[in-house]
């Protein structure tokens, strides 16, 4: 008698609490494609497979709740991955949140400053009485020569290191 046992890298013991991707997506209130994205990005662990279908343990719903909260708070996928996998296993959640939230809070402060500056620039542009855009250009050049302040981009570089990809341009400050 011949007994054949097959082992695959995704084989594990499945329990009744394991859920298909559609079920976990419905329970978490997100799309299945978002779960696949989080899995591919390394935020969620790779799901086990049974007959080619992803099977998730019930605790993935808890992880998805944390991911969605972090997304609403403005964290990037890289930052969320850091939240889950960028600390010692023994690091408490509170310490992880504090460290990442402090940095994100500083970034948001800079963004608020940028947005307020943009509002001031828009208000200035609504008061423009120039006939030609060249006239505007002369005024703007003279203002720029009289005001040399650190740009938003340089402030962000100081905060983040050298990664400024989300903000490719340095926008002028409105109070100059």
Note the pLDDT tens digit of each residue in 3-54. 434 444 444 444 556 899 999 999 999 999 999 999 999 999 999 888 888 8
pLDDT the model gives residue 5:
42
Is 60 exceeded by the pLDDT of residue 172?
Answer: no
Domains along the sequence of the chain with CATH = 19-85 (1.10.1660.10), 104-160 (no CATH)
Find the range with the poorest average confidence among 1-15, 73-87, 121-135, 146-160. 1-15
Q: What is the pTM of this model?
A: 0.68
Look up tokens 């978002």; give the residue. Answer: 34
d(CA 7, CA 104): 44
State residue 168's pLDDT score: 37
pLDDT at 152 over 90: no
Strand order in the sheet with 48-50: 19-20, 53-56, 48-50
Q: How far apart are CA 124 and CA 97, in angstroms?
A: 40
127-148 pLDDT per residue, tens: 999 999 999 999 989 888 877 6
Mean pLDDT of the chain: 82
pLDDT at 176 over 70: no
Query: Does residue 167 have a pLDDT over 50?
Result: no
Q: Which residue has the higher pLDDT, 168 or 139?
A: 139
Please state, in angstroms and rounded to a whole number, the distance separating the CA atoms of residues 123 and 130.
15
- The pLDDT, as a whole number, for residue 52 is 86
pLDDT at position 161, please?
A: 60
**What pLDDT sits at residue 160?**
60
């Amino acid at each position: 008698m011949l007994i054949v046992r097959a082992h695959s890298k995704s084989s594990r013991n499945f329990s009744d609490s394991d859920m298909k991707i559609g079920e976990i997506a419905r329970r978490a209130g997100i799309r299945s494609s978002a779960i696949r994205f989080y899995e591919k990005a390394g935020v969620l662990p790779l799901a086990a497979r049974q007959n080619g279908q992803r099977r998730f343990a019930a605790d993935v719903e808890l992880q998805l709740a944390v991911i969605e909260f972090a997304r609403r708070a403005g964290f990037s996928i890289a930052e969320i991955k850091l939240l889950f996998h960028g600390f010692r296993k023994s690091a408490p959640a509170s310490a992880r949140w504090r460290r990442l939230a402090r940095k994100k809070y500083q970034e948001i402060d800079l963004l608020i400053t940028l947005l307020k500056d943009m509002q001031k620039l828009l208000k200035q542009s609504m008061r423009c009485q120039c006939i030609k855009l060249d006239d505007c250009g002369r005024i703007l050049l003279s203002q720029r020569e009289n005001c040399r302040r650190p740009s938003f981009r340089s402030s962000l570089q100081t905060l983040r290191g050298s990664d400024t990809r989300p903000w490719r341009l340095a926008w002028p400050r409105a109070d100059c």
